[in-house]
Amino acid sequence: MGPIRNLLAKIGAINTLYREPRIEMSGAVRLSLLVLRVYLVALVALMIYKFVQIVTQG
Amino acid sequence: MNYFAKLYYPLRKAWKAVGLYLVIAGPGMVVMVADNDAGGITTYAATGAKYGYHLIWFLLLLIPVAYYVQEMTVRLGAVTKRGHAEAIFDGFGAFWGWFSLLDLLIVDWLTLVTEFVGMTAAFAIFGVPAWITVIGVILLMAVIVLNGRYWTFEKLALLFCALNLVYIPGAFMVHPNVRDVLHQGLIPNFAGGFNGQLFFFLMANIGTTIAPWMLFFQQSAVVDKGMLEKDIPWGRFDTLLGSIITVVVAIFIVIVTGTVLPGIDIDSAAQAAHELMKTDRYVGTFLAIGLFDAGLLGAICISLASSWAFGEIFGWAHSLNTKIRQAPWFYATYFAMLITSGLVVLIPKAPLVLITLFVQVIAVTLLPAALVFLILLLNDRATMGERRNTRAQNLIGGFIVVSIIILSTLYGISVLFPNLFN
């Protein structure tokens, strides 16, 4: 369990270190990140749709 | 005699400049030539076979595309002294950081499998069994990175870059009609009209020009090399020269297959090499050697991109200037990626075609994010200071990035739904 616990502790430390984005959150940055989220959600939805299509059609 | 005396000093000066460049040359040249990896060679070979010389003008357009994107990583790396993964964590927080890191891991691993597919297929032409190729490649890559010096790695990688030029004599050996190449290739045209299939080929060529791992690799290499802000002009020149060479090599591949295999559907570069062997044994051999070299260069850079990224985030020692004892996790990540991806190729009936297609789809999830982060970081005054993007750079870079995102997304979707654009 030691290595796994160490890894989880390390990940926790990384999350703490990078908790706050350091880049200045201007309107353009916020909009870009929002569009990126929407884009990725749409892409993942397409992949899931394709996966379901493959599974159901055998 | 007087004429030669006058010529001596300019020639000596030029030779010194070349010598100086060869000392400084590195990340830009390596990443650009490695961009012509096994998948890239297949795309260019298929493009030439399908459309002859008609899309050469389009390949020339990819020089500024590759240059402008990769130039930004040079500046970001030289100014921040951070790799791309660390820059994303720091700039945008843990959520986007983990997303990028894990996505990079998946894309890199899958791409590595395709590089091994290319290398084993290339050597299979000479009757070398896949398992010998895989073991040989892993040993060779161990020799390249385990010498404990970034400089040595870089110069060895440049040697393999030089081998990538094998396609140029190959193209001359098939005796293409130069007038046809210039006439059909340099005047923008869409052979057979603009249709779904042509669009697919255009997207594939763009998709092979900029890959997510390239951003991560070049920025980390700039940092590992110790480039400073004053070195940025050299980094730019290196990147520009690399982008020109990568496109020139691509054009010569198109000329080879466009001359010898017109109208043939090519599914892989190994198939193209097989077909070429029937016509000209030497040209086929050149294509096979080039394919192996392309896969090897790609594999070296892709493995390093992941190892650097993980080292940056987990705080491990992550430099090629360290020995294996000093940076065990860095080298463990490197070899874990290599060995596991190499083993996949040896599994009987492994779904290698599916993996090749999957790479293109997964890359579409990472590339836009990495490009958007790149542009945003390059505009952050606190991060970049005077080296941040100018308005002109934003206009050109922004246009290129948006175009790449749209076209690579359409490419990814067309891979998922092949009949969409027909």
Contact criterion met (CB < 8 Å) for A22 and B372: no
Contacts of residue B342, Cβ cutoff 8 Å, sequence gap at least 6: B112, B116, B134, B137, B138
For position B1, what pLDDT does the model report?
A: 60
pLDDT at site B387: 92
Report the chain B residue with the minimal C-alpha distance to residue A29: B376
pLDDT score of B284: 86
HSE toward the beta carbon, residue B185, CA cutoff 13 A: 22
Decide if B319 contacts B231 (C-beta within 8 A): no
Contacts of B257-260 with C-beta under 8 Å, sequence gap 24+, read: B257/B44, B257/B45, B257/B46, B257/B47, B257/B48, B257/B49, B258/B48, B258/B49, B258/B51, B258/B52, B258/B53, B258/B176, B259/B171, B259/B174, B259/B175, B259/B176, B259/B177, B260/B174
Instruction: Assess A50–B contact: CB distance below 8 Å, yes or no.
Output: yes
In terms of CA atoms, which chain B residue is nearest residue A22?
A: B91
Please give, rounded to a whole number of angstroms, the shortest distance from the CA of B292 to a CA of chain A. 32
Residues of A in contact with B382 (CB under 8 A): 22-24
Closest CA–CA distance from residue B64 to any residue of chain A (Å): 24
Kindly determine whether residue A14 and residue B369, on different chains, have CB atoms separated by under 8 Å.
no
Distance from CA of A12 to the nearest CA of B (A): 10
Contact B152, B75 (CB under 8 A): no
Q: How many CB atoms are closer than 10 A to CB B94?
A: 19
Contacts of B88 in chain A (CB under 8 A): none
> Which of A14, A38, A52 is best to mutate for the B interface (most B CBs within 10 A)?
A14
pLDDT at B200: 79
**Shortest CA gap B380–chain A (Å):** 7
Taking the Cβ of residue A18 and every Cβ of chain B, the question of whether any pair is shorter than 8 Å is answered with yes
* pLDDT (0 to 100) of residue B421: 65
Distances (CA, A) of B145 to B29, B140, B142, B260, B338: 18, 9, 5, 38, 12
User: How far is residue B206's CA from residue B59's CA, in Å, rounded to a whole number?
Assistant: 9
Residue ranges of chain A whose pLDDT lies below 50: none
Contacts of A31 in chain B (CB under 8 A): none
Distance from CA of A13 to the nearest CA of B (A): 9
Rounded distance between C-alpha atoms, residue B313 and residue B102, angstroms: 12
Which one-letter amino acid corresponds to residue B54?
H
Q: Please tell me the distance in Å from B313's CA to the nearest CA on chain A.
A: 7
Which residues of chain A does B93 touch, with a Cβ-Cβ cutoff of 8 Å?
18-21
Nearest-angstrom CA–CA distance, B285 and B278: 11
Tell me whether residues A47 and B416 touch, CB distance under 8 A.
yes
* Cβ-count burial B346-373 (b if 16+ within 10 Å, e if not): eeeeeebeebbbbbbbbbbbbbbbbbbb
Using CA atoms, how far residue B406 sits from A49, B199, B387, in Å, is 20, 13, 28
**Alpha-carbon distance B205 to B46, whole Å?**
10
Residues of B in contact with A44 (CB under 8 A): 365
From CA B18, how far away is CA B368, in angstroms rounded? 36
Question: What is the residue whose two structure tokens read 């892993």?
Answer: B138
What is the distance in angstroms between the Cα of B67 and the nearest Cα belonging to chain A?
23
Q: What are the tokens at B212?
A: 């997510």
What's the CA gap between B207 and B204, in Å, rounded?
5
Among the partner residues B91, B313, B369, nearest to A22 by beta-carbon distance: B91
Residues of B with CB under 8 A from a CB of A: 89-94, 96-97, 313-315, 361, 364-365, 368-369, 372, 376-377, 380-383, 409, 412-413, 416-417
Q: Does ipTM top 0.85? A: yes
Q: Which of A20, A22, A39 sits opposite B368 (nearest CB)?
A: A39
Cβ contacts below 8 Å, chain A against chain B, sum to: 58
Q: How far apart are CA B170 and CA B258, in angstroms?
A: 12
Q: Closest to B376 (Cβ–Cβ): which among A10, A29, A50?
A: A29
Closest to B419 in 3D by CA, of A50, A7, A29, A11: A50
Q: Is the minimum CB–CB distance between A6 and chain B shorter than 8 Å?
A: no
pLDDT tens per residue across all 422 residues of chain B: 677 777 888 888 888 888 777 777 788 999 999 988 888 888 898 899 989 999 999 999 999 989 999 999 999 999 999 999 999 999 999 999 999 999 899 989 999 999 999 999 899 989 999 999 999 999 999 998 887 788 888 888 889 889 989 899 989 998 999 999 999 888 888 877 777 778 878 888 887 888 889 999 999 999 999 999 999 999 999 999 999 999 999 999 999 999 988 888 887 778 888 888 888 888 888 888 989 999 999 999 999 999 999 999 998 888 888 888 999 999 999 999 999 999 998 988 877 777 776 777 777 778 888 889 999 999 999 889 899 999 998 999 888 888 888 887 887 788 788 777 66
